[in-house]
Structure 1
Amino acid sequence: MSHPQDPHRAFFPFGNPFRMILPKGLYLSHKLLALLNAFEDTLAERIRKLKPIDREDVLSLSWMRLAMESLCETHNDIKVLITALELPVCDWDEKWIDVYLDNSVKLLDICIAFSSELSRLNQGHLLLQCVLHNLNSPSPKQFVRARASLDSWRQHINSKNPRLENCFATLDNLTTTLNLPKVKNSAKGKVLMRAMYGVKVVTLFVCSIFASAFSGSAKRLMDLQVLETCSWAEAFTELQAFVNGGIRNMVSSGRVMVLRELEAVDITVKKLYPMIQDGVGPVEAEAFQISISDMGKRTEKLSQGLDVLAKEVDSFFQIVLSGRDALLCNFRVGSETSNVEEQQVSR
């Protein structure tokens, strides 16, 4: 695992991941090849659509929503592919199942961490609402109360979420499973493992961006090196370079790495705070009201964006959870069927 202070982290460190999963001489039928090509073409198109026009849009809640929405669709695609492959769970290698179940638990933990951070950020909305309420109040103590609420908001926003720190260790651990177990004489298994590789690469990339954005640090961004023979590899490499490069350039220029909508609110807070502290004279009255109006609009935009993104993260959580439950259920059914057949043969 790379050290936290390293500016770049390159993966895959274990060599060619398909040396293990693409046995020589294993024939793919036209049907299986068509399924794999369709899956990878769709994945490539989704990756291309994630490239923002402006690099700074990456740290916006709207782009993050699109990224999580795309991730949900990709994970749904792998479910559809598994069904189309008609590969019973009982035919899965035990190592595949172990890796899948272990990875799904880690993804669920990451989702919980992201949800907790979105909830924490949204809690600050109440403090800002108190500020707006007090500033629109005729009470002589309005400035004192508003200033106290702003101080509380700043303290709240600048506090750290310990769950986010755990995300980076989890993501590092997940990269080690990109080198999947060997596929033993199974063409369908070959297709499944290759498709899962693409899903895991995109999942790691998106979750890395989220964890870095929420923590406010670009030091832990991942730079994944992917197999060039995948049809989506070029689109992914271009997206990753554009996104990670943009974030690092922003940080190197001296800007604090925060969500754009949160930064917009903070700008209005910094304008309002000295006015509240020193008082507002007749000359500053108009500028003061404009700042209050701006903060109200930006606060509402931030809150709405957090709510929408939280719903997408919850959707991803449910998709991962349902996929895990379905696998376990099918595995139990397959095991029970095998046991019944063995008992009938023994009689």
Structure 2
Amino acid sequence: MFFSCGNPFKALLPKKNNACMSSHLVSLLNNFETSLRVSIAELVPKDDDKNGYITVSWMIQAMHSLCETHQAISTLMTTDVDLPVSDMEESMYADISSKLLEFCNAFTSEMARLNHGNMLLKSAFSDPDEVSLWHIDCWRQHMASKNPRIENCGEVLSSLVESMNDDHDLRGLKKKVNKKKKKQYEEEKVLMRALYGVKAKTLYIFSVFAAAFSGSSENILYINIRKEMKEDEEEVPWEKAFMELQNVIMNTFLSNRFMVIKDVKAVESGVEMVYAAVQEGSVPNSLMVEPLKQSVMVLSERFDHVSKETSCLFDTVNSARDALFERLRTKYEYELAESNVAECR
């Protein structure tokens, strides 16, 4: 859920002026940013996980975290800080949120593609007495194919990050802000700062997903928090955790050109070992095949779980869009009615 706010933090008053802000709004912002900090910190890979791989378990956790964050910002937008819809850049909101939905669909399609490969492997190992090399060959060809929806993600994500640093729309916002009532201005400051954090977290995690699915670490973004938002040279509550997350993942893959999903790599290695054994004329024993079959089953279940969390995010964003458009419709109907009444007079 993003507005065309450009870089919002130049619009914020200095920290010392926050004392003038209502305690309710200060509490809302503090609670939201604290929750955002905790959610980001939980995604930093532990020491045991810093092994050059992204795991599907981390992907499940990351997508679940995004879903919760977007549910929280949706509540902040529509309940806690209920700004009049006239203050929203509805056209840009529709554009950016539609891209977010497209990413969700792209990731879901890639997981479906990978699970189709897992189905081929299940067929290859369905006969306990014989491994089907034909199904493995089909699996190899399938895994070598590319998903064009994933290939385009990196470029789009980069353009969205660049838009975060564009303060052109903010200058126009400043002119509007001076004419607004104090309460509405303060609400907008809170919402814009919260939205910036959500956008940074979302775009970065999506870039990791794009890198993992494409196999290229070049798709991983590095997002610098704008200095204008650091009031009195202090960090925002979630900045330290966010930079740590980026640094850990970046350092993990700094020396590698390709990015690998650990669970997928383990299955691929196991399949190649079984394939080589069959070609050599030996029959793979159960100690080799059974663990591999189990790994394929677990991998399919985990990708299904990621897809479920991705659907949650899709539904959350889509519901927020519907709510916005409904408020727009109601606003326009009201304005039209008022206009008709005025004309009758």
TM-score category (smaller protein): 0.7 to 0.9
Equivalent-residue separation in structure 2 for 1:335 and 1:33 (angstroms): 32
Letter in 2 for 1:295: L
Contact 2:120–2:139 under 8 Å retained in 1: yes
Give the Å deviation of 1:39: 0.8
User: Residue 254 of structure 2 is aligned with which of 248, 255, 273?
Assistant: 248
Indicate the residue corresponding to 1:209 in structure 2. 208
Indicate the residue corresponding to 1:200 in structure 2. 199
1:230 aligns to 2:236 (yes or no): yes
User: Residue 305 of structure 1 is aligned with which of 279, 302, 305?
Assistant: 302
1:173 aligns to 2:159 (yes or no): yes
Indicate the residue corresponding to 1:77 in structure 2. 72
Equivalent-residue separation in structure 2 for 1:323 and 1:235 (angstroms): 27
Indicate the residue corresponding to 2:38 in structure 1. 45
Give the Å deviation of 1:57: 8.1
Equivalent-residue separation in structure 2 for 1:43 and 1:19 (angstroms): 17
Indicate the residue corresponding to 1:122 in structure 2. 115
Contact 1:57–1:63 under 8 Å retained in 2: no
Indicate the residue corresponding to 1:258 in structure 2. 260
Equivalent-residue separation in structure 2 for 1:97 and 1:175 (angstroms): 19
Indicate the residue corresponding to 1:87 in structure 2. 83
Alignment of 1:1-347 (within 5 A): 17-18=7-8, 20-22=10-12, 27-53=20-46, 54-56=49-51, 59-82=54-77, 83-90=79-86, 92-93=87-88, 96-134=89-127, 136-137=128-129, 142-143=130-131, 146-178=132-164, 179=166, 181-182=169-170, 183=173, 184-185=177-178, 186-227=185-226, 228=230, 229-249=235-255, 251=256, 257-280=259-282, 288-346=285-343, 347=345
Give the Å deviation of 1:20: 4.0
Give the Å deviation of 1:257: 2.6
Letter in 1 for 2:245: L
Contact 1:127–1:153 under 8 Å retained in 2: yes
Superposed CA RMSD? 2.1
Q: Which blocks of at least 5 consecutive residues in structure 2 are unaligned?
A: 1-5, 179-184
Q: Which blocks of at least 5 consecutive residues in structure 1 are unaligned?
A: 1-15
Contact 2:8–2:192 under 8 Å retained in 1: no
What TM-score does the superposition give when structure 1 sets the normalisation length? 0.84
Give the Å deviation of 1:239: 1.0
Number of residues paired by the alignment? Answer: 313
Contact 1:272–1:288 under 8 Å retained in 2: no
Letter in 1 for 2:111: L
Contact 2:9–2:193 under 8 Å retained in 1: no
1:46-96: CA deviation from partner (whole Å, max 9, x where unpaired): 111111212248611110010000001111111111211132223x14xx3
Contact 2:62–2:205 under 8 Å retained in 1: yes
Equivalent-residue separation in structure 1 for 2:247 and 2:314 (angstroms): 27
Equivalent-residue separation in structure 2 for 1:150 and 1:304 (angstroms): 20
Q: Name the stretch that deviates more: 298-307 or 287-296.
A: 287-296
What TM-score does the superposition give when structure 2 sets the normalisation length? 0.85
Equivalent-residue separation in structure 1 for 2:306 and 2:278 (angstroms): 32
Indicate the residue corresponding to 1:8 in structure 2. none
User: What's the % identity of the aligned pairs?
Assistant: 36
Indicate the residue corresponding to 2:181 in structure 1. none
Equivalent-residue separation in structure 2 for 1:86 and 1:196 (angstroms): 14
* 3-state SS in 1 of match to 2:217: coil
Give the Å deviation of 1:18: 4.0
